[in-house]
Amino acid sequence: MMDIFPTQRTTPLPGGYMGKILRVDLTTGAMRDENLPEEPILKKLIGGQALASYILMKELPLDAKPFGPENIVVMLTGPLTGNGFTPGGTKMTAVYLSPLTNTTLGRGATSGYWGTYLKAAGYD
């Protein structure tokens, strides 16, 4: 099985990506940087919502509970975030295990400065 977060990048990133995510464990408060997946995955899953859904599908245990410590909330920007030229240039998406159904993914999107600042800090 391929590790979706490579420790050494073997392909260049397509335009618009910063190349890393910040992983925060809300139980312990520990934080660490991780690389984005390799270019072939990024080309198939364009944008924060698609990539966040992919990460959840790969990492979320089948028996995860929405409010359990094993749940993951993935908040990502897309390649257009922060460019200053497009209507979607301020978007950020959060994808998570929905507490309404306990079995499907939920999604929330926002515009404003948060996604742009996240991108300016060097994260996707």
- The mean predicted confidence, pLDDT, of the chain is 84
Top CATH class, 20-120: alpha beta
Single out the residue of 7, 41, 121 nearest to residue 75, CA to CA. 121
In whole angstroms, what is the distance from residue 74 CA to residue 79 CA? 16
* 30 phi, psi to nearest 5 deg: -70, 140
Q: Is the pLDDT of residue 1 over 60?
A: no
DSSP string for 33-99: EEEPPPHHHHHHS-SHHHHHHHHHHHHS-TT--TTSTT--EEEE--TTTT-SSSTTTT-EEEEEE-T
- Place 10 in a pLDDT band, splitting at 50, 70 and 90: low
Whether the CB-CB separation of 63 and 103 falls below 8 Å is answered with: no
Q: Is the pLDDT of residue 14 over 80?
A: no
Helix, strand, or coil here: 5?
coil
Residue 26 corresponds to which tokens in the numbers above? 């809300």
Q: What is the per-residue pLDDT for 102?
A: 84
Stated pTM of the model: 0.79
Read off the pLDDT of each residue in 101-113 and give the average, rounded to a whole number.
Answer: 88
Whether the CB-CB separation of 92 and 100 falls below 8 Å is answered with: no
For the chain, what are the domain ranges? 20-120
